[in-house]
Amino acid sequence: MNQKVNKATPWVVLSISLILTSGMAINGTLPLIKEDLSLTQTQSELLGTIPSLTVLLCVLLSTFIIKKIGMKKTVLMGLILVAFGGTLPVLTPNSYPVILASRLILGAGLGCYNSSAVNYINELFEGKQRMSLLGMRNSMESIGQMVLTFISGLLIVLGWQYSYLVYLSAIPVAILFYFFVPDVKKEKVSEKKGARITFLPIISVLFASIMVMNSIAIAVRFPALAVELKGASYNTSNFLAMMPILGIVAGFMFQWLTSILKHRILYLAVLINTFANFFIAISSNSFTLLVTGLLISSIPVAWILPYLFNHIEDIARGMDTRLLTSFIFLGCNFGVLMAPVLMRAIEMLGGASDLYFPFVFFTGMFVVLLLLLVTIYNKVVKKSS
């Protein structure tokens, strides 16, 4: 452990994850922007999704940026970009091009330090503390999203542009990070042999992407399914706000649960995901089943990602662990972008526009994935460990 680490360091490292999913915190302003600036539906929705483009780009570039200026400066640069790009619409509420550019800047900032939020934990901490912090980090993303979305909703009464002031929260985080978190000059490299198993990192990236994609697919489709059951005027926002709660609890339980279940926590996560999709698939006459599926769907990712990051050296097999972490985040962001497209493709594959059909497909897919996961662990990971 780095000698410059003090009692405040782990909490400050965790604090940067509070802002990582803040891109969606201002989605409540989109209808108001559409009306004020006379935008099309596509133009307004683009403001909510376009940060993902620069997030993807800068996650990929972050490894090379870190090699040039160091990990600490990269994180600080990212936080400054978040504060600047995020709050720019407050000053330019009448310019759609500038607002659009500000969202791209925001995404670039988030992408700069996305993987560093994990790399700092992996490189500064060890053992149970590292495992615990990885689980808590995942929970911090959900907590930050909930809190910033709530504050954004309060500020919107002053005018939609003031909701973007929530991104000023990046400034105190940057100040704390500057004073309490050391730079990491040298990366820990796994000394384990076995680089011949080159497909293990690829499998891990695909695994993370699939799990995140499915979680987003459930969240995106839930409002339409709820309205179908409850009527066009039904407000689904409260249930969507509750969705991360079990995931937050699961993240805080990660270290304790993993110490008991070991690698079997992956099996449990996929099994829960299978049930989440199954409940939704058969919920055409049951709102209770639909909500149950939604709520438990936040649990698996809260275990899968921390587990992968905690075993990143074993998975990398000699590959640059920081680069592999970036690839896993790339997979996650790609899963977010592809969720609606994939659901539509599955509907077309089924030859119907049944909103529930994708979850029938997902249920079967995760049953197969669980069997593959057990096989891969027993035949590859277990034998090579």
When pLDDT is averaged across residues 96-114 and rounded to a whole number, the result is: 94
Mean pLDDT rounded to a whole number for the chain = 87
Given a cut of 60, is residue 86 above it in pLDDT? Answer: yes
Tell me if 279 is assigned to some domain: yes
Tell me if 345 is assigned to some domain: yes
When pLDDT is averaged across residues 66-74 and rounded to a whole number, the result is: 92
169 and 230 belong to one structural domain = no
88 and 148 belong to one structural domain = yes
When pLDDT is averaged across residues 337-355 and rounded to a whole number, the result is: 78
- The answer to whether residues 228 and 355 touch, using CB atoms and an 8 Å cutoff, is yes
Residues 120, 207: Cα–Cα separation, whole Å: 23
Tell me if 355 is assigned to some domain: yes
318 and 291 belong to one structural domain = yes
22 and 157 belong to one structural domain = yes
Q: Comparing 266 with 317, which gets the higher pLDDT? A: 266
Tell me if 2 is assigned to some domain: no
Length of the chain: 385
Smallest Cα–Cα separation from 106: which of 133, 79, 69? 79
When pLDDT is averaged across residues 132-154 and rounded to a whole number, the result is: 89
What confidence category does residue 244 fall into, taking pLDDT thresholds of 50, 70 and 90? confident
- The answer to whether residues 81 and 17 touch, using CB atoms and an 8 Å cutoff, is no
121 and 212 belong to one structural domain = no
Q: What is the pLDDT of residue 197?
A: 42
Tell me if 75 is assigned to some domain: yes
Tell me if 120 is assigned to some domain: yes
Q: What is the pLDDT of residue 194?
A: 44
Tell me if 188 is assigned to some domain: no
265 and 363 belong to one structural domain = yes
DSSP secondary structure letters along 183-205: ---S--------TT-THHHHHHH
| Domain limit, last residue, from 133, 150, 180 | 180
Given a cut of 70, is residue 383 above it in pLDDT? Answer: no
Q: What percent of the chain has pLDDT over 90?
A: 52
175 and 204 belong to one structural domain = no
User: What confidence tens digit (pLDDT) does each residue in 155-204 have?
Assistant: 988 999 999 999 999 999 999 999 999 988 754 444 444 444 468 888 99
Q: Comparing 224 with 95, which gets the higher pLDDT? A: 95
Given a cut of 60, is residue 325 above it in pLDDT? Answer: yes
pTM of this structure: 0.83
207 and 268 belong to one structural domain = yes
267 and 172 belong to one structural domain = no
What's the distance, CA 21 to chain centroid?
Answer: 7
Which domain, by its residues, includes 63? 9-180
Q: Give the chain's domain count.
A: 2
Given a cut of 70, is residue 381 above it in pLDDT? Answer: no
379 and 237 belong to one structural domain = yes
Tell me if 299 is assigned to some domain: yes
| Domain limit, last residue, from 120, 150, 180 | 180
